[in-house]
Chain A
């Protein structure tokens, strides 16, 4: 798109564009902070799960006893991550079209994942398992919500990258953005796998963890 909006285009000239190395370091530093954030949420979750009122999400009588929907969503997110990896590898080999396709696919899979998560939320709400109910649900909404929110932030980055391609941004810059997206998505996939494993584990698992950490 060449129609210049004076403000937006000028503002960027006041400062240097971050180099690829700077952008990658910046993202790693951000992921460090996010690791701390999710780690502490998980510690809080484990601590709280040791109280007698905690009911496992996958206990036989719970709507998530057979968490097939969570498995489907996990698959979607894994596909999103894989698509970005594909895009990243294609862009390294200078295959522009493949890398764009990978990027677009990743966006679609991510949106599908988010829709899937919302679907699970609605299902839980319809069965009367609200956030203020059992702490297991409180944490389920909280952690999936937080994770989803970070994916939404990721989608903003994804949208900027896609718009850049559409507006004819140099392939070099686009490749860096795709690299950043891929790293971020892999991180969020890893976080999701940990959250999924923990949220669906029986309290005895946390008991073992808690004992290891000296919380019990």
Chain B
């Protein structure tokens, strides 16, 4: 591989000054941490917003939240969680940290572009947050930003909020594209000696495929964002139909709101998998390490990731069953939606078969990984309900949908993020996170989220509509629903506050945690083979590592160690039969 030889010839200089080392850094590890900390910070804001919403739903009037504020919280909560937290953390955070270490590269291939990617992302976050402080506040259009309401008077934040939201999204897309170029090119063109594509850990496969989805899908959001921005600011009519607003004729005419929906969901559905595929990959790695077993069906897992990625582009209109589409269209999209369950179920079976008869260590990352499988299963099953047109129509816009998507793409990926942070924190800092606090954090979060979202399925089947600011005086809502809402709110507040444990653990263990050594989990993949922990600039010292096998060789009979590192040859660990190149 030409890259590795080149990398060994060039001398890298480690930046000396504080500014070039930690602020304007081009080192993928520093950029990853910058991305992660920014994403977690903005995610905490979104968490607080959800707490405020829950207060209004459970105990209306206690906090004096009005309808406009409620919608603003709802919109910002959704947008921040989906884009600025999950996407940024999985791709910008984990993608940046893990890809070069897992494929044996010195760094990303375009470090300067990588640095720009973070700063543009930060700019997009600042623009988004600034909308809290402009006249009229942030937009309250819902995270889907459907026109015409998103830019018509009566919706909160139509003065400045919506403009800032769209501009922020455009910047985010530019940042994600710059990062994405790096992740894809690094995987394709910067792998070390012997690191074939089919020896890469599934985390890399997940992030790689998700990045390609992002590169193809984010343009749809860009297109819809730019066109809506023009509709709002200079009076074009791309999406805006002829309409009366508050008794006056608006200047727009002839635009198509459904066109926006198509564009939005052409981005929005792959977005689900932009978040899910890295989660799938990371969970495969965590399970294999902590169950001390080779991942079951590695090749199948890779192809399942790729297949899910491909299919995710032809299911978007299942978000639009109630938009008045042609029933044959509905039939098509219901079919593709159900087909996507096949490779997804395959992955779930393979995780379970990996666990089967494994030497399962109930470490904190493993607990989160197991919780993810369960949560993803629950969320996925309700997806089968909602994927069918006839079932979706009565359940559409109820709390059943809220429960579904929070389970499948809220809680499930967040559990992976927690698991992954507990798993790789030792590599990033050289110290272990506190185990007791970790377990406490896990049980509160895991059980708490079930107590929050399980009852919402019931509320949804009862017909409780989502997006309502207040349910007072609605006769079709039974008394029990109000009590349930109070219960959900109490649990949500507890779960929300318990995240302080996690933050405390992160900060406390950074200086006080038990030193981890190079490979605390006895993992086989390449990122644990760095000469230093945390890895230095350039990652590998003068020579890049040479890879002889896949990332999952655990518990091979007859060996003293229960794992074989990717850099070990058969001869060096005493394997007689030839298992190299099995994609193992």
Report A's interface with B, CB cutoff 8 A.
10-19, 21-22, 25-26, 29-30, 32-34, 36-37, 40-41, 44, 47-48, 51-54, 131-132, 135, 138, 142, 214
Contact = CB atoms under 8 A, between A and B. Distances in A.
B185 A25 contact: yes
B103 interface: no
A44 B262 CA distance: 9
A15 B180 contact: no
A44 B263 contact: yes
B254 A14 contact: no
Contacts of B219: 33-34, 36-37, 40
A21 B2 contact: yes
Nearest to A26: B185
Contacts of B537: 14
A22 B219 CA distance: 23
Interface residues of B, number: 56
Interface string B179-198: 01110110011100000000
A40 B223 CA distance: 7
A13 B234 contact: no
Contacts of B212: 32
Contact of A36 (B7, B216, B256): B216
A138 B238 contact: yes
Contact of A14 (B111, B215, B237): B111
Interface string B214-242: 01111110111011001000111110000
Interface stretch (B11-19, B150-158, B414-422): B11-19
B256 A132 contact: no
B84 interface: no
Contacts of B182: 26
B319 to A, nearest CB: 17
Given A25-B185, A40-B223, A51-B254, A135 B236 contact: yes
Contact of B216 (A13, A16, A32): A32
B112 A19 contact: no
A40 B180 contact: no
Nearest to B28: A15
21 contacts: A16-B7, A16-B12, A16-B109, A19-B3, A22-B109, A26-B110, A26-B181, A33-B218, A33-B219, A36-B217, A36-B220, A44-B223, A47-B259, A51-B255, A53-B237, A53-B253, A131-B230, A132-B237, A135-B238, A138-B236, A142-B227
Contacts of B15: 14
Contacts of A138: 230, 236-238
A84 B254 CA distance: 43
B26 A32 contact: no
A48 B106 CA distance: 48
Given A44-B223, A132-B234, A13 B13 contact: yes
A53 B254 contact: yes
A182 to B, nearest CB: 19
B259 A48 contact: yes
Nearest to B107: A15
A142 B185 contact: no
A40 B270 CA distance: 15
B212 to A, nearest CB: 8
Nearest to B537: A14
Contacts of B323: none
Contacts of B563: none
A139 to B, nearest CB: 8
Contacts of B184: 25, 29
A192 to B, nearest CB: 18
Given A25-B188, A53-B253, A33 B26 contact: no
A48 B185 contact: no
A146 to B, nearest CB: 8
A16 B10 contact: yes
A25 B215 CA distance: 14
Contact of B189 (A12, A21, A41): A21
Given A13-B13, A22-B185, A132-B234, A40 B220 contact: yes
A90 B110 CA distance: 28
Interface of B: 2-3, 6-7, 10, 12-15, 20, 26-27, 106-107, 109-112, 177, 180-182, 184-185, 188-190, 212, 215-220, 222-224, 226-227, 230, 234-238, 251, 253-256, 259, 262-263, 266, 329, 537
Contacts of A131: 230, 234, 236
Given A11-B26, A22-B3, A40-B219, A132 B236 contact: yes
A29 B26 contact: no
Contacts of A36: 215-217, 219-220
A5 B246 CA distance: 60
Nearest 9 interchain pairs by C-beta: A53-B254, A37-B219, A15-B111, A132-B235, A33-B215, A138-B236, A36-B219, A22-B189, A26-B185
Contacts of B262: 47
Contact of B14 (A14, A18, A40): A14
Nearest to B252: A132
B187 to A, nearest CB: 10
Contact of A41 (B190, B223, B235): B223
Q: Of A37, A135, A142, which is in contact with the most chain B CB atoms at under 10 Å from its CB?
A: A37
Given A25-B188, A33-B177, A15 B26 contact: yes
Given A15-B112, A19-B2, 19 more contacts: A11-B26, A11-B112, A14-B14, A14-B111, A15-B26, A15-B106, A19-B3, A22-B3, A29-B185, A30-B177, A30-B181, A33-B177, A33-B219, A44-B263, A48-B259, A53-B237, A132-B251, A135-B236, A138-B230
Nearest to B260: A44
Nearest to B6: A19
Q: Of B188, B236, B256, B263, which is in contact with the most chain A CB atoms at under 10 Å from its CB?
A: B236
Contacts of A37: 219, 222-223
Contact of A11 (B20, B181, B222): B20
B238 A44 contact: yes
Contacts of B109: 16, 18, 22, 26
Nearest to A15: B111
A68 B95 CA distance: 49
A19 B236 CA distance: 45
Contacts of B223: 37, 40-41, 44
Contacts of A51: 254-256
Contacts of A10: 13
A54 B181 CA distance: 37
A15 B12 contact: yes
Contacts of B266: 40
A144 to B, nearest CB: 14
B180 A29 contact: yes
Contacts of A135: 236-238, 254-255
Contacts of B188: 25
Contacts of A19: 2-3, 6, 189
Contacts of B220: 36, 40
Contacts of B263: 40, 44
B146 to A, nearest CB: 15
